[in-house]
Chain A
Amino acid sequence: MPDSLLFGTEVVLNGLMAGVLYALVALGFVLIYKASGIFNYAQGVMALFAAMTLYGIMVGQVPFSHLINAIFGTHIHHFGWEIPAILAIIVTVVVMVAFAWLVQQYIFRHLVGQEPIILFMATIGLAYFLEGVADLMWGSEIKALDVGLPQGGSFWIEENTQWLGMGNENFYGFFLDQLDLIATVIAAVLVIALVAFSQYTKQGRAMRAVADDHQAALSVGINLNFIWVLVWSVAGFVALVAGIVWGSKSGVQFSLSLIALKALPVLMLGGFTSIPGAIVGGLIIGVGEKLFEFALGPALGGATENWFAYVLALVFLVFRPQGLFGEKIIERV
Chain B
Amino acid sequence: MLDASEGYTTEDGRKIGGVVMEMKNITLRFGGVVAIKDISFDIREGEIRAIIGPNGAGKSSMLNVISGFYVPQEGEVFFHGKKRPQMRPYEVARQGIARTFQNIALFEGMSVLDNVMTGRLNYMKTGLFQQALWKGKAEQEETENREAVEKIIDFLEIQHIRKTPVARLPYGLKKRVELARALAAEPKLLLLDEPMAGMNVEEKEDMSRFILDVNDEFGTTIALIEHDMGVVMDLSDRVVVMDYGKKIGDGTPDEVRSNQAVIDAYLGVSHD
Contact = CB atoms under 8 A, between A and B. Distances in A.
Instruction: State whether these chains interact.
Output: yes
Interface stretch (B38-46, B112-120, B195-203, B220-228): B112-120
Interface in B105-135: 105-110, 114, 117-119, 121-122, 124, 126-128, 131-132
A219 B93 contact: yes
B89 interface: yes
A220 B119 contact: yes
Nearest to B127: A202
B90 A212 contact: no
A206 B98 contact: no
B114 A218 contact: no
B109 A212 contact: yes
A202 B90 contact: no
A170 interface: no
B99 interface: yes
A223 B122 CA distance: 11
A217 B122 CA distance: 12
A224 interface: yes
Interface string A252-293: 000000000000000000000000000000000000000000
A205 interface: yes
A112 B83 CA distance: 29
Interface residues of A, number: 21
Contact of B99 (A206, A213, A219): A219
B107 A212 contact: yes
A130 to B, nearest CB: 26
Contacts of A215: 69, 101, 105
B101 A219 contact: yes
A145 to B, nearest CB: 28
B94 interface: yes
B118 A220 contact: yes
Interface in A284-325: none
A219 B181 CA distance: 10
Interface in A62-101: none
Contact of A220 (B93, B108, B131, B132): B93
Interface in A213-232: 213, 215-224
A205 B181 contact: no
Contacts of A201: 128, 131-132
A137 to B, nearest CB: 29
Contacts of A216: 101, 105-107, 118
Counting contact residues on chain B (CB < 8 A from A), the size range is: 20 to 34
B60 interface: no
A216 B107 CA distance: 7
Given A219-B101, A221-B94, A205 B69 contact: no
Interface in A159-205: 200-203, 205
A217 B88 CA distance: 12
A249 interface: no
Contact of A222 (B109, B121, B132, B182): B121
Contact of B121 (A200, A202, A211, A213): A202
A216 B90 CA distance: 10
Interface centre among B131, B181, B185 (most CB of A within 10 A): B131
A221 B122 contact: yes
A113 B99 CA distance: 22
A35 interface: no
A219 B107 contact: no
A169 to B, nearest CB: 53
Interface centre among A200, A205, A216, A224 (most CB of B within 10 A): A216
A208 B109 contact: yes
Contacts of B61: none
A169 B93 CA distance: 72
Nearest to B107: A212
A205 B105 CA distance: 16
A217 B101 CA distance: 12
B236 interface: no
B89 A219 contact: yes
B245 to A, nearest CB: 23
A155 B110 CA distance: 47
B182 to A, nearest CB: 8
Contacts of B106: 213, 216
Interface centre among A206, A211, A221, A222 (most CB of B within 10 A): A221
A163 B160 CA distance: 57
B131 A205 contact: no
A209 B107 contact: yes
B181 A220 contact: yes
A219 B126 contact: no
Contact of B185 (A208, A209, A211, A221): A221
B27 interface: no
B67 A205 contact: no
Nearest to B120: A220
Contact of A224 (B90, B119, B131, B132): B90
B118 A205 contact: yes
5 contacts: A205-B114, A211-B109, A216-B101, A216-B105, A222-B121
Interface of A: 200-203, 205-206, 208-209, 211-213, 215-224
Of all A-B residue pairs in the complex, the 3 with the closest CB atoms, nearest first, are A221-B93, A216-B105, A212-B107
Given A211-B109, A218-B89, 9 more contacts: A202-B126, A202-B131, A203-B128, A205-B114, A206-B118, A215-B105, A216-B101, A221-B122, A223-B90
